[in-house]
């Protein structure tokens, strides 16, 4: 599994709010059963509850999704849905948001 790849959310309960899960874990840890994901939410549904440095907006196929970095979680890799797209070009923004959660800067 590649870092910064978005997967379809297979969970019917949360799929509408978070249609994609972004794998942010380093490829060096691919042998682990779990991975860390950031849920991606349609930007229009979370516009009032975001912080620009914490929640980067990502363009995916012409649609805007907000990375809900404060909601990142570890999940079993076999809970990920189908691979959707590579978001490596947002690497700097995503790492800055994770750093903001951890260090406040």
* pLDDT, one tens digit for every residue, the chain (105 residues): 799 999 999 999 999 999 999 999 999 999 999 999 999 999 999 988 889 999 999 999 999 999 999 999 999 999 999 999 999 999 999 999 999 999 998
Percent of the chain, pLDDT > 90?
A: 92
| CATH code, 81 | 2.30.30.110
Alpha-carbon separation of residue 29 from 36, 43, 80 (angstroms): 10, 30, 16
Q: What is the pLDDT of residues 31-43, one digit of tens each?
A: 999 999 999 999 9
Range of the domain at 33: 5-103
Domain count, the chain: 1
Structure tokens at 39: 């849920």
Place of tokens 């951890």: 102
Q: Where are the alpha helices (DSSP H) in the chain?
A: 43-46, 91-103
pTM over 0.75: yes
75: buried, middle or exposed (CB in 10 Å: 19+, 13-18, 0-12)?
middle
């Amino acid at each position: 599994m590649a870092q910064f790849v978005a997967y379809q959310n297979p969970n019917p309960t949360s799929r509408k709010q978070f249609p994609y899960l972004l794998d942010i874990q380093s490829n060096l840890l691919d042998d682990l059963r779990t991975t860390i994901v950031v849920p991606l939410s349609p930007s229009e549904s979370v516009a009032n509850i975001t912080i620009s440095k914490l929640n980067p907006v990502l363009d995916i196929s012409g649609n805007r999704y907000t990375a809900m970095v404060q909601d990142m979680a570890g999940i079993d890799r076999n809970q990920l849905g189908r691979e959707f797209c590579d978001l490596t070009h947002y690497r700097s923004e995503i790492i800055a948001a994770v750093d903001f959660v951890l260090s406040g800067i």
